[in-house]
Amino acid sequence: MFDVPETAMKNPIIEVKNLGLHFGPASRPVRAVDGVSFSIDEGETVALVGESGCGKSVTALSLAKLVSGSSRYVSGSVMYDGKDVLQMEESELRWLRGNEISFVFQEPGMSLNPVFRVGSQIAEAIRLHRKGVDVHDEVLRLLQLVGIPAPEKRMRSYPHEMSGGMQQRVMIAMALACQPRLLVADEPTTALDVTIQAQILELLSELQKQLGMAILLITHNLGLVADVAHSVNVMYAGRIVERGPSRELLRNPEHPYTHGLLAAVPRLTGSVGRLKSIDGSVPHLAQLPSGCKFHPRCPKRKPDCEGVEPELRESGENRAVRCYYPVKQGQHEER
Amino acid sequence: MSTQMDNVSAESRSLWGDAWRRLRKNRLALWCLVVVVIYTVTAFYGEVQYRYYQFKDEQPSYQRPDLDSQYLAPSLTRVLKGEDRAGRSVVKELLRHPCGTDGLGRDVLARLVQGTRIAFLVGIVTSIIAIPIGVILGCLAGYFGGKVDDFIVWLYTTMASIPGLLFILAIAMVVGQGLLGVYLGIGLTTWVGLCRLIRGEVIKHKSSTYVTAARALGLGHARIIFRHILPNVFHIVIVTFTIRFPQAISTEVFLSFLGIGVQGEPSWGIMISNSRLRLWQGVWWEMTFVTIAIFLVVLAFNLLGDALRDALDPRLREAG
C-alpha cells in the first residue's frame, strides 16, 4: 500500500449514492446498476471488482454521465464538489469530462481515433481545456511522463503503428492532459499481456504519487487490486456485495462471492490442481433471482437467503458486506 | 520501464500517402486516373475557351455555322477515301475537323470539348449540392438517433420513393430550362444513397470506444461528429463522388437530349439529340464520338471509384 498523507484522505471528491441505472423498456428493465454507493477520497485509489456484466463499467461511466443508449437513471446521485453530475447540463458535463474526471479504457487500440496522429489527439485534449500553454511542448512532456521513448518521433505516429502497451500509454497521456482530479481506469490492462500489465499499473501508481490524483480502477482481476488499490468494492449483479480496505478484504473476504473470486485466482505456489471456479453463471440482469442475488451459486446458502435481499451492513472498521452469513475471520478453509 | 519497446519506425506514413501507395499497385486504376485527368484538363481547357469568347463577346467558333463544310466526315476517313483536299497537305487535312463536322458545319471535336466542360460542371456542381446534404443529414441521423433519425429517414425514404427522373424533371421545369435546372434537379435528388451510407457508418462508429473516449475528454457533439467520426467515414464520400459523377453526367445527357437541359451550349446530350436525325443517312461520326466520350468517362470513374474504395478504407490500413 502506498503512503497517502492523512490530510489528503477523508476528503471525498466524488460520492456515489444509491445509484440505479436501468436499460431497456421500463416494463422489463435490465437493472445494470442497483443501489450502488461509494466514495473516492482525494488521492486515493479505489478498485471496483467483479465479473463481466456486473455493472462495474456502467457505474464508472456514470461518474461523468457517459452512459449512452437506452439507459435511465432511476435513482441516486453522483455528487462532485457538491453538485449532482446526473443533473448537470451538457456544458457543465463537458467541463467535468476531461478536465476534472478523465478515463482510460480497456482497448487502447479502439480508444484512439485511427485517422489521427497520436500527438494531435493529445493536443486536442489540451487545447480544449487549457488555454495559453504551448501545446507542442505539453504533448512532449506528457508523452515523456508516461514513458514513451523518442516522443518527438512518436507524436507523429498513427495509433496502428504502436503496440498495445504504447497505445495505452498514449491514452493515459491523453487522460492526464488536463490534470484531472480523478482518473477512471476501466480495465486498463485487460487487453495487454502480463508484463505490459505490470508496467501500466506501475505507471499509474507512479503518476498518482506525482500528480496526487485519485484513481478508480475497474478490474475483474483481484490479483491486481492488492498492489495498487487502497480500498476495494466488489460488485455482483449490479450491486456492491462487499467493501473494505484492500489488504484486509483480500486477507479475510467475508462475502462468499469474494471468497470464490479469490479462490479462482491461479497461484504460482502450492499444489497443482484444477483451477477453482464459482459454480453457475452470472444471472441475467433482467431476470435476477429473489433474495440475495448470489444465493443460487452460493456454497453456503441457507433457506432464508432466498427471501429478502440482505442489506450492505457494516462488518468492521471501514468494512461492509451484503450477506446474512458472512464468512468470519479465521473461518477460511485452507487453500 | 521502457525496456522492450518496439522500434520506432523510420517515418510514419500519412493516411493519403498510404492510400496512394495502395492505389498505385492497381494498374487498371492508374489508367483510369490518367483518363480522368485527361478529361479534367479537357474540361478546364473548355472552360478557358468559353470564358475567352464570353470576354471578347463574340460567337464561339464551336457555335459558328460554316455552311461550306456541312457534314464533313472525320479527317482520317476523308483522307483514306481520297477526297479532295483543296490543295492542303495530308497533315494539314488530318488536323482539319479531325472528328468531322455537324449539320451546321461546326467542328465536332470542339463541341465535344465543350460537352466535357458541361459534363464536369454538372458533375461537380451537383456534387457540391448533394454531398453536403447527404453527409450532414446522414451524420445527424446516425449520431443523434431517436427523433432526428426518424425525421431524416422519413425524409429520404420519401425522396427515394418518388421516381428519380420525374422528380428531376419536375424541379427542372419549375426552375426553368438551362443549367440551373439541371444542377438543382440532380443535386437535390441524389443525396439519398450517400445519406443512407453515412448514417449506417456513423451508427457503427458512434458506439466505438474512440467516440466514448472523445466524449470522456469533454468534446462537444459537433466536434465529435465532424472532426472525429467524419474523417473515419470520409472514404465513403470520395467513393460516392466518383460513382455519382458519371451518373450525374448521364442524367444531364438525358435531360439535354429531352430538351429541358442545357440550352444554347453544346452538351453531349444535345449533340446526341442533334445527330440522331441524320444517323440513318450515314452521318455516324458525331453520335459515335460523343458515345465514346461518355463511355470512357463513365467507365474510368466507375473503375476508379472501385479502386478508391479499396485504397481509402482506414480499416484496411497496413501496420507500419
Reference A1, options A262, A198, A259, A205; nearest CA is A205
- Cβ-defined contact of B5 to A149 (cutoff 8 Å): yes
Q: Within this chain, do residues B83 and B94 fall inside the same structural domain, yes or no?
A: yes
Residues in chain B with CB shorter than 8 Å from the CB of A191 are none
Residue type, B271: M
Window 57-76 of A, Cβ < 8 Å to B: 61, 64, 66, 68-69
CB B37 within 8 A of CB B120: no
pLDDT for A190 equals 82
Confidence of residue B135 (pLDDT cuts 50, 70, 90): very high
Q: List A residues 122-181 in contact with B (Cβ-Cβ < 8 A).
A: 124-125, 128-129, 147-150, 153-154, 156-158, 160-163, 165-166, 171, 174, 177
- Number of compact structural domains in chain B: 2
> For position B120, what pLDDT does the model report?
94
Whether B62 and B87 map to the same domain: the answer is: no
Chain A hits for B217, Cβ within 8 Å: 97-98, 102, 124-125, 128, 174, 177
Give the A:B interface size as CB pairs under 8 Å: 109
**Helical axes B108-144 vs B285-312, angle rounded to 10°:** 30
Inter-chain touch A162–B216, beta carbons under 8 Å: no
Q: Are A121 and A113 in contact (CB under 8 A)?
A: yes
H or E element at residue A296: none
Residues, chain A, total? 335
Mean pLDDT of A272-294: 81
pLDDT reported for residue B317: 56
ipTM of the shown complex: 0.82
Best residue in B3, B4, B5, B7 for a mutation probing chain A (most A CBs within 10 Å): B5
The reply to whether B108 and B81 lie within a common domain is no
Q: Which residues of A touch B210 (CB under 8 A)?
A: 110-114
Please give the residue of chain A at the shortest CA–CA distance from B219.
A94
Contact A161 B208 (CB under 8 A): no
Q: What is the DSSP string of B296-307?
A: HHHHHHHHHHHH
CB-based burial, A275-313: b 16+ in 10 Å, e otherwise: eeebeeebbebeebeebbbbbbbbeebeeebeeebbebe
- Which of chain A's residues have a Cβ under 8 Å away from the Cβ of B11? 156
Give the C-alpha separation, A60 to A39, whole Å: 12
The DSSP annotation for B3-18 comes to SSPPPPPSSPPPHHHH
* CATH number, domain containing residue B232: 1.10.3720.10
Q: How would residue B35 be classed by pLDDT, with cut points 50, 70 and 90?
A: very high
Alpha-carbon dihedral sign for residues B40, B41, B42, B47? positive
pLDDT reported for residue B8: 44
What per-residue confidence (pLDDT) applies to A271? 66
Quick check: A152 pLDDT over 60?
A: yes
Nearest to A86 by CA among A75, A101, A95: A75
pLDDT, average across residues A16-21: 91
The yes-or-no verdict on residue B109 having pLDDT over 50 is yes
Asked whether residue B211 falls in the same domain as residue B83, the answer is no
Instruction: Using the predicted structure, report yes or no on whether residue B34 has a pLDDT greater than 90.
Output: yes
Q: What is the mean pLDDT of residues A22-44?
A: 88
Position A8 pLDDT exceeds 50: no
pLDDT band at B92 (very low <50, low <70, confident <90, very high): confident
Q: Which of B251, B146, B241 is nearest to B198 (CA)?
A: B241
> How do residues A229-248 score in pLDDT, each as one tens digit?
889 999 998 889 999 998 88
| Phi and psi angles of residue A182, each rounded to the nearest 5 degrees, phi first | -135, 130
Average pLDDT (B267-271) is 90
pLDDT band, very low/low/confident/very high, at A1 (cuts 50, 70, 90): very low
H-helix or E-strand spanning residue A245: strand A239-245
Query: pTM of the prediction?
Result: 0.81
Residues of A with Cβ-Cβ distance to B215 under 8 angstroms: 66, 68, 97
Q: A149–B8: do the CB atoms touch at under 8 Å?
A: yes
Q: Are B60 and B73 contained in the same domain?
A: no
Q: B1 is written with which cell numbers?
A: 520501464
Question: B286 and B152 in one domain?
Answer: yes
For residue range B308-320, list pLDDT tens digits in order: 888 887 666 544 3
**Pairing assessment for the beta strands A83-84 and A182-186 based on DSSP bridges:** unpaired
Alpha helix segments (H runs only) across B57-145: 75-80, 90-95, 108-144
Contact between A102 and B319 using a beta-carbon 8 Å cutoff: no
pLDDT, residue B116, reads 94
Determine the average pLDDT of the residues in B208-212.
89
Q: Other CB atoms closer than 10 Å to residue B51's CB: what's the count?
A: 10
Best of A158, A182, A200 to mutate (most B CBs within 10 Å, chain B): A158
Q: Which residues of B touch A117 (CB under 8 A)?
A: 12
User: Are B73 and B43 contained in the same domain?
Assistant: no
Residue A226: pLDDT over 50:
yes
Q: Do residues A306 and A230 touch, judged by C-beta distance below 8 A? A: no
Cα B221 from Cα B214, distance rounded (Å): 10
Which of A16-20, A51-55, A253-257, B27-31 bottoms out in mean pLDDT, i.e. has the lowest? A51-55
Mean pLDDT of chain A, nearest integer: 85
pLDDT, position B320: 36
Nearest to A169 by CA among A124, A102, A108: A108
Q: What is the pLDDT of residue A7?
A: 43
Write phi, then psi, for A329 (nearest 5 degrees).
Answer: -55, 140
Point out the residue among B6, B217, B314 whose CB comes nearest to the CB of A128. B217
Closest alpha carbon within chain B to A97: B218
Q: Are B175 and B255 in contact (CB under 8 A)?
A: no
Average pLDDT of the residues in A39-53? 88
Pairwise CB contact (< 8 Å): A111 & B210? yes
CA distances from A160 to A115, A124, A194, B301 (A): 9, 19, 21, 31
Q: Which residues 275-334 of A are in CB contact (within 8 Å) with B? A: none
- Chain B CB within 8 Å of residue A194 CB: no
Q: What percent of chain A has pLDDT over 70?
A: 93
Residues of B in contact with A113 (CB under 8 A): 210, 214, 228, 231-232
Q: In chain A, whose CA is at the least distance from the CA of B313?
A: A115
> Chain B residue with minimal CA distance to A128?
B219
List, for residues B212-262, the tens digit of each pLDDT value.
Answer: 899 888 888 999 999 999 988 888 998 899 888 888 888 888 888 888 888
**Residue B203 reports pLDDT greater than 50:** yes
A92 touches chain B (CB under 8 A): no
Q: What is the pLDDT of residue B58?
A: 87
Are residues B165 and B16 both part of a single domain? yes
Rounded alpha-carbon distances, angstroms, from residue A154 to A139, A200, A249, B206, B257: 11, 18, 41, 27, 58
Give the Cα separation of B165 and B185 in Å (integer). Answer: 9
pLDDT tens-digit profile of A117-146? Answer: 999 999 988 988 888 888 999 999 999 988
Q: What is the pLDDT of residue B12?
A: 57
The whole-number pLDDT of residue A300 equals 83
In this model, does residue A4 exceed pLDDT 60? no
Domain boundary among B100, B122, B147: B100
The three grid cell numbers given for residue B301, joined into one nine-digit string = 470513374
- Is B138 exposed, middle or buried, given 0-12, 13-18 or 19+ CB atoms closer than 10 A? buried
- DSSP tag of B162: S
B178 and B275 fall within a common domain: yes
**For residue A263, what pLDDT is reported?**
82
Domain hosting residue B75, numbered range: 69-100
CB B308 within 8 A of CB B235: yes
Tell me the three cell numbers of residue B216.
Answer: 470522456
Q: Contact, B114 vs B46, CB < 8 A? A: yes
Pair B15, B74 in one domain = no
Residues B44, B152 within the same domain = yes
* Strand pairing category for A83-84 and A214-219: unpaired
AA identity, residue A300: K
Record the cell numbers describing residue B242, joined without a space. Answer: 466518383
pLDDT digits (tens, 9 = 90+) for A302-331: 888 888 888 888 888 888 889 888 877 655
Cα dist. B4→A153, A156, A264, B9, B208 in Å?
A: 17, 20, 31, 15, 30
Q: Left (φ > 0), alpha (ψ -120 to 50) or beta: where does A145 sit?
A: alpha
Confidence check: pLDDT of B1 > 60: no
pLDDT tens for B155-176 read 999 998 988 888 888 888 888 7
Which cell is A120 given?
494531435
pLDDT of amino acid B112: 94
Residue A177: list chain B partners with CB under 8 A: 217
Q: What is the pLDDT of residues A172-213, one digit of tens each?
A: 999 988 889 999 998 888 878 888 888 888 888 888 988 889
Distances (CA, A) of A166 to A219, B8, B135, B187: 20, 11, 34, 46
Cell numbers found for residue A197? 500489465
**B134 and B253: one domain?**
yes
Residue B48 CB: number of other CB atoms within 10 A?
A: 10
